[in-house]
C-alpha cells in the first residue's frame, strides 16, 4: 500500500500490488552532495552546498536541508549563500561522481540488462524478466536500493509503474530514499490530483497557457477536450499532454550499446562579453550539431554546453530532454537555458560549444506517441535538402544573415564526435 508522508512525499509500505508495474525509474538522492558527504559524515543532516565559494561559481548540487531554503542547482553560489548563510560550502569532485555512477549503474545491470541511463545519476529499468531471478518489481526495486546503500553508502529513490512517465513521477514523489509502486489500475487515481507541472514537458510558458483556460491538475487536463488543448498549447504539445494525462506512454526502455556524442565548438579570436553574440554562436552550433545528427539518422537524449572563460576556467552543463531530438531549434532552446543559468553577467567568453549526447536511433526515438518538434523538424529537413543541392551556405537562419564563415564568431571552429 502507499502512504502519504507530509505534503508531498509518498512511499509504498508492506506488500505491494505491483503486477504489471515493470518499469522502474531510479534516481540517486542529491547525488553529488551525497558523494561529498561520504567524506564528511559530520555534515549529514545539515545544509551543504556543492560549489566554489569564490568567483562566479554556480551550485553543482545541494543537500535537501539546503534546498528547503530555496537553493537549487545552477544557482550562483553567492545567491545560495544569501538564501542559506549557515550552509557549508564543499568543492565538487567530478571524477568521484563518475566513478560512483559506474558502480551504481553496474548494480542496476546486475538486476536486468534492460537499463537506459538518462544521466549520471538516474536510469529507467525494465524488470519484467527479473521476476524469476529476484522477484516482483517492488522486490527488485527494494533489492537495488539495499545494494546501493550497502555497497556505496548512497541512497536512491525508486518509482515502479507500467510506463516510463508514471515511473519517473513516482520516483520524484518517493524522494528522498523511498520506493513508490503505482499499480496499472491505480495510474489515473495517482496522476489526476497532481499539479499540471507534473506532466512531462510542462514548463513555465505551457503552464501559463493551461492555467489561462482554467486547468490546474492533471485530472483537469485529462477531462479537457483534445481540440481545446491543442488550441491552447499547439498541436504537438496538446496531443502529448492528452496522452500523458490519461497515463499513456508507449515508449520502451532502450539500452545504449555505447556512449556516443556529436559536438561543435568555437574558440573566439577575441574574448566576447556581449551575451547576444554568444547566443548567436550557440544557435549556429546547435544547428550544425542537429544537421550532423540528421545525416547520421540519430537523435540526442541529452544536450550539453561548454563555456571557457578568459581565465581558462571551463564549465560544462547538460540537460536530459523529455524526448530525443535532432532539431536545431530544440537543441538551441535547451542549450540557451543552460547558458542563461550560468549568468554570464558580462564575463568574457573565450570558447563556446554545444554537444549532443546519449544518442539513439530513429526507430527508438520515434516510438513515442508524439513529436513535439514536428514543425521545426519539417523546416530543418527542407533546409537540409536545399543545402545538399546548392551548398552549405545556400540557406541560413535570418538571425545569422550578414555574417559568413569564421567571421561570424571571429574564431576557430572545431567539430567533434
265 classed as catalytic? no
CA-closest candidate to residue 292, choices 196, 207, 359: 359
For 67, the enclosing helix (H) or strand (E) is helix 64-67
Ramachandran region, residue 190 (left: φ > 0; alpha: ψ -120 to 50; beta: rest): alpha
Distance CA 233, CA 92 (A): 40
Which of the following is catalytic: 122, 323, 334, 380? 122
H helices of 224-302, where? 226-233, 235-245, 275-295
- Angstrom distance (rounded) from CA 159 to CA 364: 23
Give the C-alpha separation, 349 to 149, whole Å.
41
Residue 181's DSSP bridge partners are 160
Burial class (CB in 10 A: 0-12, 13-18, 19+), 229: buried
Q: Are 268 and 411 in contact (CB under 8 A)?
A: yes
Q: Is 121 annotated as a binding residue?
A: yes
Distance CA(302)–CA(307), nearest Å, equals 17
- DSSP designation for 206: H
Closest CA to 248 of 165, 192, 186, 181: 165
| Contact call for residues 350 and 308 (beta carbons, < 8 A) | yes
Give yes or no for a contact between 56 and 62, defined as CB atoms under 8 angstroms apart.
no
CA distance 256 to 261: 12
Instruction: Give CA 180 to chain center in angstroms.
Output: 21
Q: Are 157 and 171 spatial neighbours (Cβ–Cβ below 8 Å)?
A: yes
Mode of pairing for the β-strands spanning 115-119 and 122-126 = antiparallel
Question: Is 290 within 8 Å of 355 (Cβ atoms)?
Answer: no
Q: Where are the beta strands (DSSP E) in 273-410?
A: 298-309, 314-325, 349-361
Q: Grid coordinates standing for 79?
A: 545567491
Contact 62, 80 (CB under 8 A): yes
Report whether 27 belongs to an annotated binding site: yes
- Determine the number of helices (DSSP H) and then strands (DSSP E) in the chain: 15, 15
Which residues make up each annotated binding site?
27, 121
Which residues make up each annotated binding site for Mg(2+)?
27, 121
Q: Catalytic residues, which ones?
A: 122
Amino acid at each position: 500500500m502507499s502512504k502519504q508522508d507530509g505534503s508531498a512525499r509518498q512511499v509504498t509500505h508492506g506488500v505491494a500490488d505491483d503486477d504489471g508495474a515493470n518499469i522502474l525509474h531510479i534516481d540517486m538522492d542529491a547525488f553529488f552532495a551525497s558523494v561529498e558527504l561520504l567524506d564528511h559524515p559530520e555534515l549529514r543532516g545539515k545544509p551543504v552546498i556543492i560549489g566554489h565559494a569564490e568567483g562566479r561559481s554556480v551550485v553543482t548540487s545541494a543537500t535537501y536541508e539546503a534546498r528547503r531554503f530555496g537553493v537549487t542547482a545552477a544557482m550562483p553560489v553567492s545567491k545560495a549563500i544569501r538564501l542559506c548563510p549557515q550552509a557549508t560550502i564543499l568543492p565538487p569532485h567530478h571524477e568521484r561522481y563518475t566513478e560512483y555512477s559506474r558502480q551504481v549503474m553496474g548494480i542496476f545491470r546486475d538486476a536486468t540488462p534492460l537499463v537506459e541511463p538518462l544521466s549520471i545519476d538516474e536510469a529507467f529499468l525494465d524488470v519484467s524478466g527479473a521476476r524469476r531471478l529476484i522477484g516482483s518489481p517492488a522486490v527488485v526495486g527494494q533489492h537495488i536500493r539495499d545494494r546501493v546503500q550497502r555497497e556505496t553508502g548512497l541512497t536512491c529513490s525508486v518509482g515502479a509503474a507500467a510506463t516510463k512517465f508514471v515511473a519517473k513521477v513516482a520516483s520524484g514523489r518517493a524522494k528522498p530514499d523511498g520506493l513508490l509502486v503505482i499499480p496499472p489500475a491505480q495510474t489515473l487515481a495517482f496522476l489526476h490530483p497532481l499539479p499540471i507541472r507534473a506532466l512531462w514537458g510542462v514548463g513555465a510558458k505551457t503552464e501559463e497557457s493551461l492555467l489561462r483556460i482554467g486547468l490546474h491538475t492533471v485530472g483537469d487536463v485529462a477531462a479537457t477536450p483534445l481540440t481545446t488543448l491543442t488550441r491552447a498549447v499547439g498541436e504537438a504539445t496538446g496531443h502529448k499532454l492528452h496522452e500523458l494525462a490519461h497515463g499513456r506512454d508507449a515508449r520502451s526502455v532502450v539500452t545504449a550499446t555505447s556512449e556516443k556524442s556529436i559536438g561543435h565548438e568555437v574558440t573566439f579570436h577575441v574574448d566576447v562579453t556581449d551575451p547576444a553574440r554568444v547566443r548567436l554562436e550557440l544557435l549556429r552550433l546547435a544547428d550544425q550539431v542537429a544537421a550532423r545528427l540528421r545525416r547520421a539518422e540519430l537523435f540526442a537524449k541529452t544536450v550539453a554546453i561548454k563555456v571557457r572563460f578568459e581565465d581558462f576556467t571551463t564549465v560544462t552543463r547538460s540537460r536530459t530532454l523529455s524526448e530525443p531530438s535532432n532539431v536545431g531549434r530544440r537543441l538551441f532552446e535547451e542549450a540557451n537555458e543552460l547558458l542563461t543559468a550560468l549568468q554570464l553577467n558580462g564575463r568574457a567568453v573565450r570558447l563556446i560549444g554545444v554537444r549532443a549526447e546519449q544518442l539513439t536511433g530513429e526507430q527508438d526515438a520515434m516510438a513515442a506517441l508524439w513529436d513535439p518538434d514536428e514543425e521545426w523538424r519539417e523546416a530543418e529537413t527542407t533546409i537540409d535538402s536545399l543545402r545538399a543541392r546548392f551548398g552549405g551556405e545556400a540557406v541560413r537562419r535570418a538571425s545569422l544573415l550578414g555574417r559568413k564563415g569564421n567571421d561570424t564568431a571571429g574564431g576557430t571552429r572545431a567539430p567533434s564526435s
